[in-house]
């Protein structure tokens, strides 16, 4: 938490100093621009290898869990379906929120000018070309050209092929990808250790060019993305009511302790004991609770697809990038798939590794993510709160389907 506050403070000080300096110190602003750009490039260089290795290890881990029995398969299938539903919901709700409560045009123009060096990652092709390009003829070229969705498709196919190998054949490959993923996490951890410097530099540049509009835009961003996460929180009560035959008030009473832990710690893992107690109070049997909840904590972040896609859509709105149906479909697919590989990562790392691929797939600039990373502490509270609520709702629903609920 101290590091998060340090980064947040660096952003605020950087923007304030930039506002004070304005256009009176171009040398200082240009120097800060170079420092901020170098830090951002350090984040970007880890995205492709991290996405590939995390997807491979995530699919293999999921397949190993699914081999444990019918209850596990049902739990994983339900969670995957909810992840896709979460992404689809964001594709509908986020544009609606931005249409109803748009960022003032003056603030958009100011920030767009401040982030003038941010470039779209390429146009999304027409739908027929989009479908044709999903299968890459050269996966290495796809990685080199940031063709993220074809790369994800190849990685998924490769990972599923690995599950068909014998354990002796699969183990060395799984170990290699796990080691590469761990090395990438260490590397991005080093880059994030410099976050106060990088965010301060970027904040100074934005503050000098956008002025007070920068603060207003960041607050607007937090409200929009948090509202999308709030839909998942409400959906948890609906799922428990329809799927688990548990009234919203009863579910609320049982989930309040876990939700309190989630808000205070921003950790689903730390909330697990309270979640176990809560679902047992709802009549869920130990057999289901002891299997489904640990799987949910290990594999399932219900807010991952929707809030990650909401961030990408917001960046597009901010930068004036028009998102057509094909771009939104690409974003939904990237959001749903990449979430499964990033569940076990710290929030700051998963923010970059999960959202950057979505932006790339949709043709949206990734540079603004570096600034938004500094204020992720606020949406992250909603992420954890909604994830914990949905974990309990899924467990209640599966218990009823299994006949393991009183």
Q: Which tokens belong to 369?
A: 């993510």
Looking at the domain 2-401, which fold is it?
1.10.3860
Q: What integer is the mean pLDDT of 207-217? A: 74
* Angular region, 393: left φ>0, alpha ψ -120 to 50, beta rest: alpha
Backbone angles phi, psi at 284, to 5 degrees: -75, 135
Domain boundaries, the chain: 2-401
The mean-pLDDT minimum among 61-75, 211-225, 237-251 falls in: 61-75
pLDDT in tens, 151-184: 888 888 888 899 888 989 989 999 999 899 889 8
Q: What integer is the mean pLDDT of 88-100? A: 95
Would you say the pTM of this structure is higher than 0.85? Answer: no
pLDDT in tens, 106-146: 777 777 766 655 555 555 556 566 666 667 777 887 777 76
The pLDDT of residue 1 is 59
- Residue 310's CB: how many other CB atoms inside 10 A? 33
Contact 317, 111 (CB under 8 A): no
């Amino acid at each position: 938490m101290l590091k998060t506050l340090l980064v947040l403070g660096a952003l605020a000080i950087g923007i304030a100093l930039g506002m004070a300096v304005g256009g009176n110190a171009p040398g200082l602003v240009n120097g800060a621009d170079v420092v901020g750009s170098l830090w951002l490039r350090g984040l970007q260089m880890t995205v492709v290898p991290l996405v590939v290795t995390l997807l491979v290890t995530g699919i293999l881990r999921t397949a190993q869990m699914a081999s444990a029995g019918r209850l596990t398969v049902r739990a994983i299938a339900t969670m995957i379906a909810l992840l896709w539903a979460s992404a689809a919901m964001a594709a509908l709700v986020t544009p609606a929120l931005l249409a109803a409560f748009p960022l003032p045009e003056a603030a958009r123009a100011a920030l767009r000018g401040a982030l003038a060096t941010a470039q779209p990652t390429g146009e999304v092709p027409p739908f027929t070309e989009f479908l044709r390009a999903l299968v890459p003829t050269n996966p290495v070229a796809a990685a080199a050209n940031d063709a993220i969705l074809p790369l994800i498709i190849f990685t998924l196919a490769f990972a599923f092929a690995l599950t068909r190998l014998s354990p002796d054949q699969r183990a060395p490959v799984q170990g290699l990808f796990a080691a590469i993923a761990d090395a990438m996490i260490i590397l991005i951890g080093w880059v994030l250790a410099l976050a106060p410097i990088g965010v301060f530099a970027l904040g100074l540049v934005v503050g000098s060019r956008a002025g007070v509009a920068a603060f207003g835009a960041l607050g607007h961003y937090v409200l929009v993305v948090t509202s999308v996460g709030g839909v998942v929180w409400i959906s948890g009560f609906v799922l428990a009511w329809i799927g688990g035959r548990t009234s919203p008030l009863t579910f609320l009473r049982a989930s309040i302790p876990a939700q309190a832990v989630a808000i205070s710690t921003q950790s689903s893992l730390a909330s697990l004991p309270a979640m176990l107690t809560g679902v047992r109070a709802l009549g869920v049997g130990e057999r289901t609770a002891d299997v489904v909840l640990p799987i949910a904590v290990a594999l399932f972040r219900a807010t991952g697809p929707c809030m990650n896609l909401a961030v990408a859509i917001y960046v597009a709105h901010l930068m004036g990038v028009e998102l057509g149906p094909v771009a939104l479909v690409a974003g939904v697919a990237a959001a749903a798939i990449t979430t499964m590989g990033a569940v076990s990562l710290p929030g700051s790392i998963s923010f970059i590794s999960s959202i950057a691929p979505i932006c790339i797939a949709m043709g949206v600039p990734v540079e603004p993510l570096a600034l938004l990373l500094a204020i992720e502490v606020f949406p992250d509270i909603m992420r954890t709160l909604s994830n914990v609520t949905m974990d309990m709702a899924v467990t209640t629903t599966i218990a009823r389907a299994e006949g393991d609920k009183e």
